[in-house]
Amino acid sequence: MAANSSTGSATEPPGLETQWREIDNLSQQQLRAGDSWYLLDKRWYDQWKEYVHAGDQNSSSYPGKIDNTELYEDLDSYHLKERLSENEDFVLVPAEAWHKLLSWYDMMDNQPPLERKVVDLPSTVKVEVYPVEIYLCLSSNMESTVSACFSRADKIHAIHQKIRQHFNVSETAESRLWMRSTDTSSERLRNLNMTVLDACLSSGMTVIMEIRNADGTWPTSRPQIMRNSADEDSYRGPPGVCGLTNLGNTCFMNSALQCLSNTPPLTEYFLRNSYLEELNFTNPLGMKGEIAEAYADVIKQMWSGRHYSVVPRVFKTKVGHFASQFLGYQQHDSQELLSFLLDGLHEDLNRVKKKEYIELRDADGRPDQEVAEEAWRNHLRRNDSVIVDTFHGLFKSTLVCPECNKVSVTFDPFCYLSVPLPVSKERVMEVFYVSLDPTAKPTQYRLIVPKAGQVIDLCTALSQATGVPPNQMAVADVFNHRFYRIYQADESLSCILDRDDIFVYQLSSGCVDQEGEEVVMAIYMRERSHYRDYGSGSNSYSTSLFGHPLLISVPRAQCTREDLYQLLLKRLARYVRPLDPSEEVEEEEEEDEEELYKAQTNGVSDDEGEEDSEEAGPSKKEEETQESGQAEEQNNCQSEASPSSEGEERAEEEESSSEPDRGSSTEEGQSASGSTDTNSQDATDGDQSTGVEPSGKEEEDEDEEEEEEEEAASCAQANKRLPGRRRYTERQKKALFTIQAVNSNGTTERGMGEADGGFSFSSQPYIAIDWDPDMKKKYYNENEAEKYIKHQSMDVPHQQITVQLQECIELFTTVETLEEENPWYCPTCKKHQLATKKLDLWSLPEVLIIHLKRFSYTKYSREKLDTIVEFPLRDLDFSGFLLKKTVNSTEPPCRYDLISVSNHYGGLRDGHYTSYARNKDNGQWYYFDDSKVTYAREEQIVTSAAYLLFYQRQDKIRQPTVPPPVPSSSQPENHVSSQTHDGMDGASSCVSMETD
């Protein structure tokens, strides 16, 4: 079942249940620093789980060799792809489990094992999937670099020693290190005992060693690689108009920081140094003032007017230290970072040094005004800071018991409003429809289906466009030239992601299930190599998938090689050129027995040259006379006695032909056209002789009849009486390809032949069409095979939903029923109840943050809502939403103006964050994209990417203290040309449309 491993012979695997139990138990063990864990391709692992759970050693889900191909960027360097996600792209298994799987299934040739170490990081222990790859060089020759990988738990001292060793720097030479993150930004690495993680070193950065000169000076007293170069010392720009360098997937942090930086009351609080008197070093819920100090450093740099971009490295380190979820350089949610930061700043700046215990009381029928004032006083007794002053408001929560109608009213503080977006009940899906007409190209359709629908709903929508009944359609997810999944009609559409390539195949009528008169076959296209791979312990040909797979329905009575071959020829007629009549029959061939012997002993012969002892087809038998039939029988006997004769004939043929045709072997032709296979079997290699690819693992087919075995025996006896030189003639059909039953991945061949020359299937059948490279090049039109047409539905632009911000706020205040996972304990019923809940706004803060809940997570689906929310830049009036009505004219109005927006471009797994903000000093709007800053116009601000909205109450907004700059057509003075995006190719195009 498993081929020999490069590390040794594969052991016989235990039973499937035992395999699952052993691997599952080992995978439950805890992470320990220093242990080794291994990355395993998620698709292979899922295939293995399906196989062991099937409980059938001959199941079609047999996974084959461990294959991590999809995890590599390329197969030359075996460099791991970026941004792979655990449990989506790969799984982690401990070393013992890995070695067991390796011994049972072996691994694809030349692939290195993906071993990773467990590291002990602050607040967590985790497997370090991506070690830090750093470039090392000397300041005297910065063009000559060498890359080296380090753990985040390594000390900077390890990097220092590595540079010394590689560049032969004497231990007595005095040196210092510089860390360069961009072409214009570098910082000194002063503390060699700091870890790589704490130094915020990330892959791609360069560490430079500078060696002191003999005269005691440094080569660069003010090195150009330093951030604070002479050019920047002379820079003067508008305060606050400053970019933030992307440290590696930190755009989410930069976006949130820019919004807070342009929140006037908070920024002025730090610029006045008011925070120094209010730092709380003893708060057990705080961070000993470190977050507040790190944030203050960033704000002071950004508002000094001396930098066009600031590197928030220390701040990033502090955030990761106190919130382990932000460790490393993965993409995160800007709202989650903002929530942590506001809470951290509040606790670090909390004026309450010792929090008292307060027992909360229910309203019990008291007036709302009284209960609200009591709740706010109690809140301030424990929480009093600039964050509370600026961002905290109060809302009323009303719960009603569905059984006893008990009403519970409480007033709770909030720091931001997370408002829902209206969710459409429909979904737009794009599919490729493959018709039964072999001359028709696949057609791409755009369909509108129910979001909570099933696959049959997708077929119904497509049926309306094509006229084909839904029960004659099969839906499949095509990935990497194979079927990743074939869907059943009753499966939920939530299983299908927008990024999946969905193909819908038209099937003939009557193929409803596998038990019916017709069977649905999955057809893969494979190309085999010219030569066999004997080094892997097998003498089979290696194959690779190509092109688009097919789903076809075939009557069970026609599951013979002859019928399948003819059916597939018709099905592929659009891009497969048929054989000319002159090419279908091979000519007379002559061989010398002595030459045959030499070819056989020199290893020229292989199973590709073996010949069948039967004639090509029934039509040939009707045409030939009895004498020719006897001559054919004699020649076939010679063929069986010397299976290498075909190989030598082809060798001579190739020498005399300008176009060598490797696909013309007699063995391939007869097997594909349905002739009975009677090829002899080479005793030295044990290949099966079924007219299909020998795999080296499968048993010999059992489809030869008794009379053929007797004939083969008589031929062997006749061969003993043949003279030293002989002549024979053979006329056979030639085929374009061979057919092989395979597993669902198209990687492992299965011997499923029966005595009548047909196939039998116990589960979903997968068939591979195997092409010889030369035959494929000659007869297969790759350009035509890839063509498709677009239906007119694709030309209809997707209508984005547009809603008003006020609608979202109304949804926030709508009555809802609690979920089963979060019931309310009714004090009257003395049990948990699914009560109705209603939230109402009571009082609003000076700065109101509105979080648009674009990311929707349910038990059945995950999606990002690209709804356009139209929000006003001025005069957002909340008076209609507040329960607390104005008592007198001295209370502040409820009108707000927009001051900043955090944007998110992209989808769930990847994306890019930017921000718009209005400068408090000059009133000008700017667009912040990491270190790049440009002017912005007000009409650019409202987009479908808006994620966080910052509003300031109008009575607190001051008029600009300096006249706004006049934007010109040229680049702004502080523009930085370099720009970083976090795995979102589309972000750059979005940015270019929304900036000057």
pLDDT tens digits, residue range 457-478?
999 999 999 999 998 899 999 9
530 is catalytic: no
Range from 411-415, 586-590, 773-777 carrying the lowest mean pLDDT: 586-590
**Of 307, 392, 912, 981, which is the active-site residue?**
912
Name the residue with higher pLDDT: 497 or 731.
Answer: 497
Q: How many C-beta atoms lie closer than 10 Å to residue 762's C-beta? A: 11
- What is the Cα–Cα distance from 158 to 192, expressed in whole angstroms? 8
Checking if the pLDDT of 626 tops 50, the result is no
Identify the pLDDT of residue 716.
46
Query: Model confidence at 234, in pLDDT bands (50, 70, 90)?
Result: low
Straight-line distance from the first to the last Cα atom of the chain, in angstroms, rounded to the nearest whole number:
63
Q: Which helix (H) or strand (E) holds 768?
A: strand 766-771
Checking if the pLDDT of 223 tops 70, the result is no
Identify the pLDDT of residue 132.
87
Question: What digits encode the pLDDT tens for the residues 874-912?
Answer: 999 888 888 876 555 556 678 999 999 999 998 776 789
Identify the pLDDT of residue 927.
96
Domain regions of the chain by residue span = 27-119, 132-211, 233-420+805-956
Checking if the pLDDT of 727 tops 80, the result is no
Structure tokens at 969: 């057509």
Checking if the pLDDT of 90 tops 90, the result is yes
Checking if the pLDDT of 353 tops 70, the result is yes
Identify the pLDDT of residue 948.
95
> Looking at the domain 233-420+805-956, which fold is it?
Cathepsin B; Chain A (3.90.70)
Mean per-residue pLDDT, 236-259: 91
The three-point CA angle 945-947-952 to 5° equals 120
Mean per-residue pLDDT, 766-779: 90
The DSSP-derived string for 147-172 is EEEE-TTSBHHHHHHHHHHHTT--TT
Checking if the pLDDT of 624 tops 80, the result is no
Question: What digits encode the pLDDT tens for the residues 193-206?
Answer: 778 888 888 888 89
Checking if the pLDDT of 637 tops 50, the result is no
Written out in words, the top-level CATH class of the domain with range 27-119 is: alpha beta
Question: What digits encode the pLDDT tens for the residues 248-297?
Answer: 889 999 999 999 999 999 999 998 878 878 888 788 888 888 898 789 87
Checking if the pLDDT of 189 tops 60, the result is yes
Checking if the pLDDT of 693 tops 50, the result is no
Query: Model confidence at 949, in pLDDT bands (50, 70, 90)?
Result: very high
Q: What percentage of the chain exceeds 90 in pLDDT?
A: 26
Mean per-residue pLDDT, 859-879: 82
Q: Report yes or no: 454 and 493 within 8 Å, Cβ to Cβ.
A: yes
What 3-state DSSP class applies to 790?
strand
- What is the Cα–Cα distance from 223 to 216, expressed in whole angstroms? 16
- What is the Cα–Cα distance from 26 to 686, expressed in whole angstroms? 38
Q: Which residues pair with 393 in a beta bridge?
A: 414
Q: Report yes or no: 548 and 751 within 8 Å, Cβ to Cβ.
A: no
637 is catalytic: no
Question: What digits encode the pLDDT tens for the residues 480-516?
Answer: 999 999 999 888 888 888 888 999 999 886 444 445 6
pTM for the whole thing?
A: 0.53
> Looking at the domain 132-211, which fold is it?
Ubiquitin-like (UB roll) (3.10.20)
Q: Which of 72-81, 211-220, 583-592 has the highest mean pLDDT?
A: 72-81
**Of 137, 200, 242, 251, which is the active-site residue?**
251
Q: Which of 162-171, 186-195, 715-724, 955-964 has the highest mean pLDDT?
A: 162-171
Query: Model confidence at 610, in pLDDT bands (50, 70, 90)?
Result: very low
Mean confidence (pLDDT) of the chain: 76
Instruction: Note the helical H segments in 507-643.
Output: 561-571, 593-601, 618-623, 626-641
